[in-house]
Amino acid sequence: MPAVGKRVWAIAEGWIPATSHGPAPQLTSHETICVLNAGEQDARIELTLYFADREPVGPYRFDVAARRTRHVRFNDLTDPAPVPRETDYASLLVSDVPVVVQHTRLDSRQAELALLSTIAYGES
């Protein structure tokens, strides 16, 4: 099986609600970037965040080992800076090997949660 996916992925939507209902961490309002590395080489990932009115922040670096998936909450990113809540952002992921990327939000600002998800935009 050759590696599956693309090396560059973009997510134009991004917004983390500031409040939550329900037990943490599962029902904490959050956004997640899900990365699948189905290939035989570890993936070195660089993630950059874009904002409406200031320079991009990043890269955030993490690895996804060969034959593994990693679901990273944007809420948990800290280096080089945490992701501000209730702020429009977008993200660009660059990998050194092909991977597949999906984006998900759980919004628990109200008593009953809401979900959204989409495949990201991949190229190269």
| Residues making contact with a copy of itself (CB under 8 A) | 1, 4-5, 8, 10-15, 22, 26-27, 32, 34-38, 48, 50-53, 55-56, 67-71, 86, 88-90, 92, 94, 99-105, 107, 109-123
Give the chain's length: 124
Q: Residue 105 Cβ, how far from a copy of itself at the closest point, in Å?
A: 7
Q: Residue 21 Cβ, how far from a copy of itself at the closest point, in Å?
A: 9
Report which DSSP code applies to 74: G
Q: Residue 108 Cβ, how far from a copy of itself at the closest point, in Å?
A: 9
Give the 3-state secondary structure percentages of the chain, helix then strand then coil, rounded to 5: 0, 50, 45
Which structure tokens are listed for 32?
């997640």
Cβ atoms of residues 113 and 22 within 8 Å: yes
